[in-house]
Structure 1
């Protein structure tokens, strides 16, 4: 099967893939060192308040872990940030100048927000290299992308990303032959090729081996500083490895912030123990 035929076979035409989003100049302003502002956000579905007066602030370059029981509003929060869901009230700003509530999903991706869902969405019949090359392309003509020669800057960036995600030995392998964990790393790499300022990562270690979990923790920690990374996760051992002693953990419950602080602080908070950690 040719590359073109493989792509036609596997692409989901309803999905907004990053490489299909035309690049535009961003007016992002983070002079106050806060990259994401969610203030007084509320949204209801059929009378159920999924998000209830949520206030959340993510610093530029921060790695933030967000935990909470099922139904706490974690996925809805990410849907609001990425434009999939419009809140009933409140404000959402990317930096000080970009109003997320006035933008659709492609425009938000253009502004520098990337989202990784729990299930990896790589192109399994294309190689690791082709997946990353496709994700980085500035030319929106897909068939040109997959047959064009990379310039030195693009090649350097791609090789740096391959090394970062730990797939240097797998560049010529079809993505469908990778392990579950490797597919997760590849999708993170595909998002990184778009140079996002904010990366939202949903339950990245579900179904991973312990070794893969350790490698994922190292990868996400290495991204902090160059990117802001928000990780939603249920596995408490993994959250502890990410948060360490100094990073902030936010606990959501019934659509709002129940507790926030270091991992030691939130895991010893009686309210958190009652509604989440004590389950």
Structure 2
């Protein structure tokens, strides 16, 4: 009998009643686009962080966003996840969900997950406990009072442990994991909530070469069933995972295409190297 099967027997608590759970809205991707960003503008004390930015991301793709510090990458992610409100423009999740009408909590419930650069796992808890706490459920007092892990939820955690490669570390304290393993755990904490869109910020910063390679495999495996947008400065890592790269500069899209196409784009060369070919 596996450790997770044992847990199924000892971690039984009263189940959340179905009428207390939020239902996730269906995302209309009938046009194959899951994220529409159009005419986005945002200024901070006169600084134009986003400048008439337009971006379209297809359902199931792995998109990389690159650009110098201050190019607008983090600000864009802040707007998409409801952390920041733009001055003008529109952001739609699929054809019909206007993200600008929702707050951060609502957007997470809609199926958009975000991972920041620095891992934010609960280090005093086990890997399993971290994943359990992240299961998608209504977090108000009454549902949590009656919450328990169902066999289906335990199977979901088991599945995610396999995806992120931490099955053997299941009951290890999260604080004892390596830096790379903590990054994978945090990705797993997003995955248990079954998001349709993942926003991942600099996932390989501080990783060993082996951890970087494993992260590339992990993110590549996630695309398809879900959409993944990665912000990263490591160009070799970007080259290893991305089919489409979007280059941001001064709050706008400067170029878009394959890694080879953007590296050979005259505008990109002029901005980042100071000379045209």
What residue is the counterpart of 2:67 in the other structure?
A: 68
| 1:148–1:171 distance in 2 versus 1, CA, 3 Å | farther
For residues 99-143 of structure 1, what are the alpha-carbon distances to aligned partners after superposition, in whole Å with 9 as ceiling and x for unaligned?
011111101111111000000111000000000011115363789
Q: How does 1:1-279 map to 2 (within 5 A)?
A: 23-136=22-135, 138=137, 140=139, 150-243=149-242, 247-276=243-272
CA RMSD of aligned residues (A): 2.1
- The secondary structure found in structure 2 opposite 1:259 is strand
Paired with 2:152 and 2:273, the residues of 1 have a C-alpha distance of: 47
| 1:159–1:277 distance in 2 versus 1, CA, 3 Å | farther
Q: Could you list the runs of 5+ residues in structure 2 that have no partner in the other structure?
A: 1-20
| 1:122–1:277 distance in 2 versus 1, CA, 3 Å | farther
Paired with 2:225 and 2:274, the residues of 1 have a C-alpha distance of: 35
Aligned length: 255
Paired with 2:183 and 2:141, the residues of 1 have a C-alpha distance of: 23
For residues 132-168 of structure 1, what are the alpha-carbon distances to aligned partners after superposition, in whole Å with 9 as ceiling and x for unaligned?
0111153637899799763322122111100110111
| 1:242–1:142 distance in 2 versus 1, CA, 3 Å | farther
For residues 159-218 of structure 1, what are the alpha-carbon distances to aligned partners after superposition, in whole Å with 9 as ceiling and x for unaligned?
110011011110111100101110000000000011110000000011111110000000
Offset, 1:23? 3.1
The structure with the larger Rg is 2
| 1:142–1:180 distance in 2 versus 1, CA, 3 Å | farther
Paired with 2:269 and 2:179, the residues of 1 have a C-alpha distance of: 32
Moved over 4 A (4+): 141-149
Q: Contact 2:65–2:247 at 8 Å: present in 1 too?
A: yes
- The secondary structure found in structure 2 opposite 1:169 is coil
| 1:137–1:200 distance in 2 versus 1, CA, 3 Å | closer
Paired with 2:256 and 2:262, the residues of 1 have a C-alpha distance of: 6
What residue is the counterpart of 2:7 in the other structure?
A: none
What residue is the counterpart of 2:9 in the other structure?
A: none
Paired with 1:121 and 1:148, the residues of 2 have a C-alpha distance of: 23
Q: Contact 1:62–1:228 at 8 Å: present in 2 too?
A: yes
Q: Contact 2:50–2:75 at 8 Å: present in 1 too?
A: yes
TM-score (norm 2): 0.87
| 1:142–1:156 distance in 2 versus 1, CA, 3 Å | farther
Paired with 1:153 and 1:114, the residues of 2 have a C-alpha distance of: 21
Q: Contact 2:38–2:53 at 8 Å: present in 1 too?
A: yes
For residues 66-97 of structure 1, what are the alpha-carbon distances to aligned partners after superposition, in whole Å with 9 as ceiling and x for unaligned?
10011100000000000111111111100011
| 1:113–1:139 distance in 2 versus 1, CA, 3 Å | closer
Q: Could you list the runs of 5+ residues in structure 1 that have no partner in the other structure?
A: 1-21
